[in-house]
Amino acid sequence: MTPRNPAAQRPHDVFHFTANLKPYTFLERPEDERFDAYLLSADYARGLSEMAAQVRQQQRELVADNGNVDLLRDFARRFRPEAAPLDEARKVWEDEHDGRYARPGQLPTDLSDAFRALAGKIAAASDAQVTAEHTRDALARQTSIAPTFLIGMEDLTLGTLATLNIEPEYASLPQDFFEKRIGRAVSLARRTEDGEFGPVSGQVLAGLHAVDFDSAVLAGGLAAEAGLKGVAVGLFGALTDRNYVDFRVQDGQVIELERAVPRPYLRVLEIVAGLVEGYRRAGRPRPAFHALGAGTPILLPLLALLGDGEPYFATDSTSPIVDGWSSPTISLYVDDPAPLKLKAYKIAASWIEGGRGWDCPCPHCTSFHERHPPNLDGARRWWKAEGKPRITKLLLERDGPLTPFLPYLGYAADDDLRREAGLARVGHNHWLLKKLEAEIRVRSAKPTALHAWVNELVQAYAAASPSQAWSTAVREAAALATSIAGRS
């Protein structure tokens, strides 16, 4: 196994944000801006093998992903035409019943049966896709970079259900449905460890999925009973969920929320907390753990509550790259007044209208603005001359009238400038996450200090967020994480 980063071996320096390995996240970064852990998908192992070797030579953690995220997207596209009408019928039923979200067992039998039948089709498709040959091929590419950790092969069913909003309460799925899907992933991990699919380098992290707290407890328990000492959980479905919910289920009991909230953050914490709780109930030590896909600033401290004292507890995400470079709406990460994602056009609006602007001291923002200073006076003159229109992201697109004045906050027409600004924003977002990572590590030395700090962040988030629904979701997620973290 590749030696660990000495910094990561210190007793409490166990929390990692794991950056995606790319030239601009590693080779083009100075030493003090590099992360202690990097993730590389099996899909890119051959093309970036030399860079991966440098990560190992510098004794940083290297995580080899199995490359299944594209398959999850393909499954979602494949089955969405069948899932969408069912979801629409569910919404119609809810509208006809006081607008409340359907609780377990409430949907009409024929609709529930249709949801359950579709779940069965997805499970069969996963069985057909995730074969021994598929697993061997992925493993060969993963082990070719000699990683510290490798993500085990997954069953794609539960991740696809979450993406398509096929919820347990809609489909009335029996316990053995979840046991079979999770058990398949656990078996694939054990067989991988045993060398059935080829030689293994690095510790295997079982590739698990869950859709809520209870299915995650089941997953953690099955993995623990199988003797697995490392797990990774796919959160693609949870984080792409655009639905709201006004209840959750824990140990089979419906827990009412104070209001309807966006599901993603709460679901992420339900799943991770459930996995931790599953190991606890099985009487086994907490495993090495990796949350696949969670990179929103507020999620890092929330997840850290569940990682006290673990040998490896990590999260990764392409979000800081997508948000800074390729998303239709540019977002920048901040930690003042709270860990937040701010839309660039809203920053521009505040700045132009006389409010707080963008004064980040990080090296990426500073360097870009030294080369391309913002022309705030010009932006304000244009805005006033046009009658002070509402500032939207369209005004900062490639042909937007404000983009030449504020190129950092928009998509410049010039290709080179647009790329330079994108790289600077990605660098900034990673800088902010690295800053949060460092603060988590310091406070993890004393769990009471970590919990107090996270509580302060949650309160600050609630005060700063323009959405009460998102604030409530974060409070609910923090309360659940705190509750599970406190169990011994």
CB 310 within 8 A of CB 321: no
pLDDT band at 105 (very low <50, low <70, confident <90, very high): very high
Q: Could you tell me the two tokens for 225? A: 């009973």
36: closest CA among 422, 425, 315? 315
Mean pLDDT of the chain, nearest integer: 95
Q: Could you tell me the two tokens for 180? A: 């079979």
Backbone angles phi, psi at 250, to 5 degrees: -135, 125
In residues, how long is the chain? Answer: 488
Identify the pLDDT of residue 276.
Answer: 96
Backbone angles phi, psi at 265, to 5 degrees: -65, -40
Identify the pLDDT of residue 4.
Answer: 35
C-alpha distances in angstroms, 289 versus 213, 356, 371, 383? 16, 39, 41, 50
Identify the pLDDT of residue 488.
Answer: 63
Residue 318 DSSP one-character state: S
Q: What is the mean pLDDT of residues 124-144?
A: 98
pLDDT band at 310 (very low <50, low <70, confident <90, very high): low
235-285 tens-digit pLDDT = 999 998 889 999 999 999 999 999 999 999 999 999 999 999 999 999 999
Q: How far apart are CA 154 and CA 353, in angstroms?
A: 50
412-424 tens-digit pLDDT = 999 999 999 999 9
Q: Give Cβ neighbours of residue 129 (< 8 Å, ≥ 6 apart).
A: 71, 75, 156
β pairing state of 253-262 and 244-250: antiparallel
Q: Could you tell me the two tokens for 45? A: 């192992």
CB 66 within 8 A of CB 40: no
29-76 tens-digit pLDDT = 999 999 999 999 999 999 999 999 999 999 999 999 999 999 999 999
- DSSP strand E in 42-141: where? 61-65
301 upstream amide cis, omega within 30 of 0: no
Identify the pLDDT of residue 311.
Answer: 77
Q: Could you tell me the two tokens for 347? A: 């920053």
Q: Could you tell me the two tokens for 199? A: 């030689």
Identify the pLDDT of residue 10.
Answer: 39
202: closest CA among 212, 213, 215, 189? 189
356-368 tens-digit pLDDT = 999 999 999 999 9
Identify the pLDDT of residue 47.
Answer: 96
Q: Could you tell me the two tokens for 298? A: 């507020």
Q: How far apart are CA 334 and CA 349, in angstroms?
A: 17
pTM comes to 0.95
1 has pLDDT over 60: no
Identify the pLDDT of residue 309.
Answer: 62
Identify the pLDDT of residue 447.
Answer: 85
Identify the pLDDT of residue 340.
Answer: 97
